Every structure is written in C-alpha cells, then in structure tokens.
Amino acid sequence: MTDWCHELCRHFGIGSDYRGFDGQRVSVTPETRMAVLAAMGHSVGSEAEAHALVEQLRHEDSLHPACAEIIVETGKSATIKTSRPVDWAIEVEGNPEPLADGLATDRIDLPPLPMGIHRLVLSDGSSDWVTWILARPQHAVCVAERTKAPRVWGVTTALYGLTDAGKAQIGSYNLLGSYGAAMAHHGADFVGINPVHAMGRTRPDDVISPYSPSHRAFLNTWHTGTVEHGKGSSTDRVDYPAALDANERALKTSFMRFRGLPDDAPEQRAFAAFDRAGGAALDDYALFEVLADRFGPDWRDWPSAFKTRDTTAITAVQSEEQVALSFLKWGQWQADCQIGQAQKQLLSAGMRIGLYLDLAVGPRLGGAETWAKDSPQVTGATLGAPPDPLSPAGQSWGLAPLSPVTCRAQGYAGFARLLRSVMRHAGMIRIDHVIGLMRSFWIPDGATEGAYVSYPLDALLAVVAIESQRSGTIVIGEDLGLVPEGLREKLAGSGIYGMEILQFLRDDAGGFKDTAHIRKKAICAFATHDTPTIKGFFSAEDARLQADIGALDTTRYEIIRADRTAAQQTLGPVAEVPEIHHRLATAGSEMVAVQLDDIAGRVSQQNLPGTINEHPNWQQVAPLAIQDIETSPDFAQLGADMAQQGRANTGKPEKNHGQSDCSNLAH
C-alpha cells in the first residue's frame, strides 16, 4: 500500500492489522482496506486519486478555524482556541436563539452550558463552520440514582414466548406488563426482554431473529395484539406465520374502527399528535414498508427510482397509499402506547426499574434504517467478527455498520435519536456488542476478510451519558469476549455497567469463581440467550446438539461434557438451579439477572449460534404462565434469597421517571 493510501485509511480509522484470538498479529491486505474505504463512499482507483483526496482532506481541515468538536462537562466553562479571528455564536440544542456570541481573536471562552449537543457557529466573513459541543454529565444514570437502593435483581425472558400458557399465539406488550407485575410480587426490580425493534412486514427469508431488525428506532408491531386476538398455540413453539397473520388481521380490524371515529375524538387527536411528533422519520418508515410490500424486503433490489428516492416516484406512491401509510403509522402508535402501558404497570407493581430493553448492534443491510434519508449506516459492508476457534472462517452478521464519518458530520444526531427511541419506555437498556462504540469489524461486499474501523469513543460515550440522564435510564454494555485494552475502564468512567456471565467465570479447579469478588458496576447472570441454561450447561446439551450436526467432533464434545460434569461436582450435593441462583444473589455486582427459563428448569436455550433449522431458535414459549409465577414456590424462594442479600424491591410504586404514557388511548 502506498503512503497516500495508508494515510487515507489512517484518516478514516481503518486499521492495518489486529490481534487475533491466539494473540498473533493479523495483517489486513491493502485490497481489503481500500474496499472498506470504498464502502465509506471514497473509492480510490490509483495512487494519484489517493494523493488528491489526502490533499483535499488536509486542505479542508486547515480551513476550519477551530477543532471540529469538543466535549465539555455540563455546567462548566471551557476554552476553544482559534487559528484566526472569527465571529462566533453558540446555538444550544433545542433553542434556535444564540445563547452567547462574540468576536474571537485567538480563543473563545465558552460559558457554562446545559446538557446536550450544541452548535458553535464560526464565521470569517466569507465562510461558515460548525464546531459541535457535547456538554455531557459526569456519568450515565446509576442504580442508586434510579432506585434509591444499592443492589437489585430482575428476570430476563423472551417477549415472543410470553403466551401465558398458550392463551395467545405470540407474546404481547400487554402480557409483558402482566408477567412483570407477577415477578415484581417476588421482589424483582426489572424484566429484561429481547430487542423489540421494527422487524418489517416483509422480511428476507422471513427472518425472525430480533437481532436482525429493519429499523431500530421503531417498534415491532408483532406484539401489539391481545390475548383475544384469535386462539392461542397449544405447542411449546411460536407459530410465526399463524401468529403474525392473526395479528395483522386484528390490527386492521382495530384500525378500521379507529378511522370511523369522529375527527375530534380523543384517540384521533392523540394519534395526530403522535404523527406530528414522529415527523419525517415516521413518514419515511411507513413509506419504506409500503414500498417493501410492492418490491420486496431489500431496497437495494428495488427499481432505480425508489432506490434513489426520486421525488416524483415517491410523491406518486404517497398519493396512492394514504390509507396504508396511515395504518402503518397508527400501528407504531399502538405499539408505543402499549409498551408505555407495560412500563407503567411494572412501576405501579413496585418495580423500580421496570423494562430492561435491548439495543441491537445494527439493522439488516437492506432494511428501513439504511434506506432512511441521511442514514449514517453503510451498506457496502457488513458487521462481523474475525476468525476464532468456534468460527474459523470468521463471522458475517449481515448488519449495516455505522459510518463514523457521517455520524460525526451530523453531530451525532442520529445516534442520539436512536438511543432516545429505545430509552423512551425503558428503565434500563443493554447496548449489544458495546465494543462497537470503540471499533467494529467491517467485511466489504464480496470480501472474505475484514478490517477494524475505529469510532470516536469519547464522543459516543458523551451522547450515551446525555441521553441516559435525560430519560433516567440505566445503561449496560455487553462487553463479553475479546475486549480492547482500556475499554472497560472507559465504560465504567462514563457510568456504563458491564456484564459478568457466571458460566464463563471458571477457576483453576474447574468450578466457578467467587461471585462476591466480581465487578460492582456490572450485571451478573449465569447465561445469555446465546448460551446454555443452567440445566443445559451441566448436561452439555448445547455441545450434544452441535456434535449431532457436525459442528463439533467427538473428541471435543467429550472434553466439554467432562468439563461440565467436573463443574457440577464442585457445587457439592445440592440442586444446581437454586445453588447457582444463590451464588448470583451474593454477587458483588449491583445488579443480578435470572432467566425465567432457569427458574423453571428448562434445558433448551433460546438461541443456539451456528444453527438454523437444527434448533428452535427464537421460537420457544415461556415455561411458566402468569399464574404459575404468582404461586411458584421456586420463585418465592428465589425472591427470599435475593431479599436476604438486600436486593428486593419494597413493593411500593415509584414515580414514573418522566416517561410518557398514552395507554388510555390504546385499543
């Protein structure tokens, strides 16, 4: 690679090498680095073109009279140096009137600023520039701030499976509130579920994984049904075709009733307000769904006029499909109302956190989020992971990366809106693969290898802290696996909690490490949705299934089975599930999460990575009904154990932490 091409890649944060799982340095080929650069929108075909682009970027940087962005602490003054005299004005987020202005010769003394992302507009009389000012709080919301307690616990489960013993075909936001209220009776402070991002009515290969959404800023309307919407399922798996068909029919019936209401009806006024607040982004999402019905789920395969958002073609569709567009936006309103009602129900039942929602690492490549106007997502590459022992060829996730260049140029507005949408009805969120705030592994289209791309970590952490404090939402970062040096310290410094998974915390004797000594600023659990349950772990059920499909050889399977047996023996002559739960209760972490599947003693995990049809991924219904939870002696014992360790809620409702609710308007 020439010096000019190397400089280009360095400018855009494209790494030339990385440390592999075995500790060895892996060099990235020049072709791969240039393909990643092309995915960012900068195709360079020769050394001369690379030289010219480098010179252009240097020239543009030299013209800016100050730094492009600055991070300051809320309420504290700061100074920005300028390279020449300029007029300046500070435009505070949400207020078009300048907070302060003046003429600077070589420095600008910023006044104390409120929390937010602000614009410092600079002018030399012939050109204008913007410096983004991120005025951040010291840290994101912590457990003590949110709950007024030092230690809490909660339950994690799969929303799609909350069918209340088959009374519904698929879990709903309404049932979520009832399930969570039953858990609150035993002292739980939160209920965690899979991502509820919009999946899209038309999906490639009918994907059902909640980690492959179409748009993360909108909600999944699959869960807006009620238990009266058709007969429930008598099996232990969700029948998605039947469930989604019934849900669609029920929504359309309710929508037609809604359309028959007078214009001045409270429901009509509330929906109109929701539509106005959603603005262009909501219009865009509904339009994508209509076009996907016509042309297919991947906009990259659409006719050219719709791929490029031709104004004439778009306007014609909007005129033809007014009712369909209104229905799609109404569906989002219903989902928003119902999940808001679920959170209100949890807080009223005594939970101090309530909903624990999940932010997926990215949207699928051809979905609504990447088609959206001014999207900061990239479609010329996919997120993934480099080779490791379990995936010798590496992993390609089929998810769109965030462009660090576009994100910065937009003043992080898109990232902030995404966080705001997920936090809107959540007491706590989990950022999946939080390593992505520092770097992500990009695999260009058609390539077999990838490269790491760096991100403005400090700025993104500032945005997380801002939005956390605005909404009163605790933030957890999924920091499992190979974590770059120093990242966990950075996350902790911003008040973001880590994750400790007990089945990964093994000692030299083959048992489990003492949970009392794990990180305080973390949430501790035995498993995740991608790993074995307690019973599945000790029986090595996951390894058996992988061996059956040829993903593990016999020798490796026997090694795993022997290791799990040895781990079980270190527990002593006790029942596995209550013993593991007791160890979680005594953990040094401020938060503990227990799987509903484990409380019920389920063997099978929700998702077995590396399988498609060999395992019922994302399909298993909850092993307990609402009444079962209320009367379960195992749940009662778990709650008592947690209470003894100072983790139980008081059973008294907490205030609504400023979270909006339109539940009285939902049908």
DSSP string, 57-82: HHHHHHH-SS-SEEEEETT--EEEE-
Mean pLDDT of 383-404: 87
Q: What angle do CA 350, 190, 417 make, to 5 degrees?
A: 115
Burial class (CB in 10 A: 0-12, 13-18, 19+), 55: exposed
Distance CA 227, CA 625 (A): 13
pLDDT tens-digit profile of 460-493? Answer: 999 999 999 999 999 999 999 889 999 999 999 9
**Looking at 136, 158, 188, which one is the last position of a domain?**
136
Structural domains of the chain, count: 3
Specify the CATH number for the domain of residue 196: 3.20.20.80
Q: Do residues 39 and 445 touch, judged by C-beta distance below 8 A?
A: yes
Q: Mean pLDDT, the chain, as a whole number? A: 93
pLDDT tens-digit profile of 557-586? Answer: 999 999 999 999 999 999 999 999 999 999
Tell me if residue 324 falls in helix, strand or coil: helix
Distance CA 193, CA 99 (A): 42
Which helix (H) or strand (E) segment holds residue 150: the answer is none
- 234 within domain boundaries: yes
Tokens at 501, concatenated: 């998974």
Residue 323: per-residue pLDDT = 97
Same domain, 471 and 564: yes
Same domain, 33 and 171: no
- 377 within domain boundaries: yes
Distance CA 201, CA 220 (A): 10
**Looking at 63, 86, 102, which one is the last position of a domain?**
63
- 380 within domain boundaries: yes
Same domain, 120 and 152: no
Same domain, 125 and 178: no
Residue 563 CA to chain centroid, in angstroms? 33
Strands 116-123 and 498-501: unpaired
Its pTM stands at 0.95
Same domain, 209 and 122: no
**Looking at 136, 162, 187, which one is the last position of a domain?**
136
Residue 586 CA to chain centroid, in angstroms? 28
- 310 within domain boundaries: no
Specify the CATH number for the domain of residue 81: 2.60.40
Which of 213-237 are b and which e, b meaning 16 or more Cβ less than 10 Å from the residue's Cβ? bbbbbbbbbbbbbbeebbebbeebe
pLDDT tens-digit profile of 610-633? Answer: 888 899 999 999 999 999 999 999
- 296 within domain boundaries: no
Residue 663: per-residue pLDDT = 38
Q: Which range has the worst mean pLDDT, 169-183, 268-282, 389-403, 539-553?
A: 389-403
Q: Do residues 420 and 467 touch, judged by C-beta distance below 8 A?
A: yes
Amino acid (one-letter) located at 45: G
CB within 8 Å of 546: residues ≥ 6 apart: 552, 557, 608, 610
- CA-wise closest residue to 603 among 619, 580, 583, 623: 623
Same domain, 104 and 182: no
Query: Could you tell me the residue range of the domain that residue 121 belongs to?
Result: 69-136
Q: Which range has the worst mean pLDDT, 61-65, 301-305, 367-371, 471-475?
A: 61-65
pLDDT tens-digit profile of 125-163? Answer: 899 999 999 999 999 999 999 999 999 999 999 999 999
Q: What angle do CA 239, 244, 247 make, to 5 degrees?
A: 125
Q: Which range has the worst mean pLDDT, 188-202, 231-245, 515-529, 530-544?
A: 231-245
Same domain, 651 and 563: yes
Same domain, 103 and 187: no
- 613 within domain boundaries: yes
Residue 1: per-residue pLDDT = 57
Q: Do residues 591 and 522 touch, judged by C-beta distance below 8 A?
A: yes
Same domain, 564 and 419: yes
Mean pLDDT of 21-41: 91
Residue 661: per-residue pLDDT = 47
- CA-wise closest residue to 375 among 280, 470, 275: 280
Q: Do residues 414 and 375 touch, judged by C-beta distance below 8 A?
A: yes
Q: Do residues 428 and 473 touch, judged by C-beta distance below 8 A?
A: yes
Same domain, 425 and 556: yes
Query: Would you say the C-alpha torsion 136, 413, 128, 7 has a positive or negative sign?
Result: positive
Same domain, 421 and 440: yes
pLDDT tens-digit profile of 405-430? Answer: 999 999 999 999 999 999 999 999 99
Mean pLDDT of 227-252: 81
Distance CA 396, CA 389 (A): 15
Q: Residue 220 pLDDT > 80, yes or no?
A: yes
Same domain, 600 and 660: yes
- 131 within domain boundaries: yes
- 187 within domain boundaries: yes
Residue 664: per-residue pLDDT = 39
Burial class (CB in 10 A: 0-12, 13-18, 19+), 304: exposed
Distance CA 505, CA 115 (A): 38
Mean pLDDT of 589-598: 98
Mean pLDDT of 91-104: 92
- CA-wise closest residue to 9 among 41, 49, 27, 36: 36
Distance CA 39, CA 29 (A): 16
Distance CA 271, CA 162 (A): 28
pLDDT tens-digit profile of 303-357? Answer: 999 999 999 999 999 999 999 999 999 999 999 999 999 999 999 999 999 999 9
Percent of the chain scoring above 70 in pLDDT: 96
- CA-wise closest residue to 193 among 579, 623, 622: 622
Residue 633 CA to chain centroid, in angstroms? 34
Residue 235: per-residue pLDDT = 75
